[in-house]
Homo-oligomer: A and B are copies of this chain.
Amino acid sequence: MRVLLVEDDADLSRQLKTALGDAGYAVDHAADGEEAHFLGDTEPYDVIVLDLGLPKIDGVSVLERWRREGKATPVLILTARGAWSDKVSGFDAGADDYLTKPFHTEELLARLRALLRRSAGIASATLSCGGLRLDPRAARASVNGEPLRLTSLEYRLLHYLMMHQGRVISRTELVEHLYDQDFDRDSNTIEVFVGRLRKKIGSDRIETVRGLGYRLTPLAGESDAA
């Protein structure tokens, strides 16, 4: 999962960036409204954390512009305590959730999980697919009850696949959602990690669709008699 963090306070953004990173997100950071707007238009984020008090362009304006352009990415806004009007105008502009400073990073993480879940149209807090289960809260996964020992990237990969199970996911899309801006787009790490993941969860679960990408099939029996 990839998140855009829009926050001008240097300390806070550094802290949040590492917290989000530790939680398994690929994080890009924008320090002002202009940069935020540009990045949001350019890169495909899964969720956006938007502080409202920003230099150059105000957070609400940025959000409004995104929504006017048809951008649907879930946005969580950060407001200073008691800035009620901000909160209201934020929601009016199309925010999906808000959080007043100061807050515990745990709460931010929880809300982001909820947002991602909602935007994917998933009801339950844990993902499952065949005998696979994944709990974003505990960052833990299992096959048939057997807990899996996954590295960070393996986990992120599985997470993304499970969030979009049944759909073909291109290598490009995976790179775009698992890594942040500066990453060598033509490298074969994805293939390597798909391989490693397969070794751990069973190779028949991730189907490769030649020329298009990979697909995690929700149905247990693979059944390709055709």
Contacts and interface: CB of A to CB of B under 8 A. Distances in A.
Interface of A: 22, 41-42, 44, 69, 100, 102, 104, 106, 138-139, 146-149, 151-152, 166-168, 170, 173, 200, 209-212, 223-226
28 contacts: A22-B170, A22-B211, A22-B212, A41-B102, A42-B102, A44-B104, A44-B106, A69-B100, A106-B173, A138-B166, A138-B167, A138-B168, A139-B168, A139-B209, A139-B212, A146-B225, A146-B226, A147-B223, A147-B224, A147-B226, A148-B226, A149-B224, A149-B226, A151-B210, A152-B210, A152-B211, A152-B212, A200-B226
Contacts of A212: 22, 139, 152
A100 B138 CA distance: 40
A87 to B, nearest CB: 13
Chain A's interface: helix, strand, loop or mixed, by majority?
loop
Contacts of A200: 226
Number of chain copies forming the complex: 2
The 7 tightest CB contacts between A and B, nearest first, are A149-B226, A149-B224, A152-B211, A148-B226, A200-B226, A44-B104, A42-B102
Contacts of A166: 138
Contacts of A22: 170, 211-212
A171 B89 CA distance: 38
Contacts of A168: 138-139
A28 to B, nearest CB: 15
Given A44-B104, A138-B168, A147-B223, 9 more contacts: A22-B211, A22-B212, A44-B106, A69-B100, A106-B173, A138-B166, A146-B225, A149-B226, A152-B210
Contacts of A102: 41-42
Nearest to A69: B100
